[in-house]
Amino acid sequence: LQETWRIFGAAGLVASKKTHLPRRVGAQDAETHGTSLAQISQAGRWNQSVLCQAYLTHLPRQFMRIVAGFSASPGDYFLARAANEPPYVLQKQLWPWIEEWEPRFEARARRQCWAEGGLDDDDLAADGFLKLC
């Protein structure tokens, strides 16, 4: 159990029930991907009331998709605005720092540190954001 606490601390994760967290995350992941409650219950050996109260997200996914303007079916997303790329001049005004940071992330992929033109730490979120821009 101490090793679990150490790993969670090193990763910056805060949870009061560390030994149950992987089970909860697994159940939520299955729920996100459309697995039925019966299948999740069977896999975790939970009765459905415990499963719903303690492990699932309680998010009304179908409702959220519909009010966001999408089809009720999972995975059926289309953003019309994503089909148009903004002019380069506008992109440069919105994100003037991208041209400086893209090479740093590319250098980080080659394990180069800040002094070598890369980054000292990995930052998957920022790298993903740059790829979206």
Residues 10 and 67 in one domain: yes
Residues 70 and 102 in one domain: no
Residues 94 and 60 in one domain: no
Residues 49 and 14 in one domain: yes
pTM of the model: 0.43
Domain that holds residue 98: 86-132
Q: Which residues are CB-neighbours of 111 under 8 A, at least 6 positions away?
A: 118
* Per-residue model confidence as pLDDT tens for the chain (133 residues): 688 778 877 877 777 776 777 788 888 888 888 888 888 888 888 887 777 777 777 778 788 888 888 888 777 777 777 788 889 899 889 988 888 888 998 898 888 999 999 888 888 888 888 877 6
Q: How many domains does the chain have?
A: 2
- Exposure class string for 28-43: b at 16+ Cβ within 10 A, else e: eebbeeeeeeeebbee
- Residue 81 located in a structural domain: no
